[in-house]
Amino acid sequence: MADLFGEIQKNAATCGKKSTLQKILARLDEQDRNDLIKALDDISIPALAIRAALAKRNIALSMSAIYRYRKGEGDFELER
């Protein structure tokens, strides 16, 4: 059996780090940050539309990150 402590220790190194979404929001100016949060919170806006708009600005955000945010999965403490 694998070294459980070693596995836990390896996982601990990545816990508590900021999510990709949090990193993106930190880079945006206030208006863009508010617009992105507004779009993420509006479930009538498809995740693909959000990803496409960000891609035009050379910002990569996965569809799964958007879905996780919308489902409330993960630790998303976003500054609003």
pLDDT in tens, 12-67: 666 667 788 988 999 999 999 999 999 999 999 999 999 999 999 999 999 999 99
pLDDT band at 1 (very low <50, low <70, confident <90, very high): low
pLDDT for 77 equals: 56
Distance CA 38, CA 58 (A): 20
Type of residue at 48 = L
**Can you give the pTM of this predicted structure?**
0.72
Return the SS3 of 31.
helix
Distance CA 27, CA 24 (A): 5
The H-or-E segment that residue 10 falls in is helix 4-12
- Give yes or no for a contact between 77 and 16, defined as CB atoms under 8 angstroms apart: no
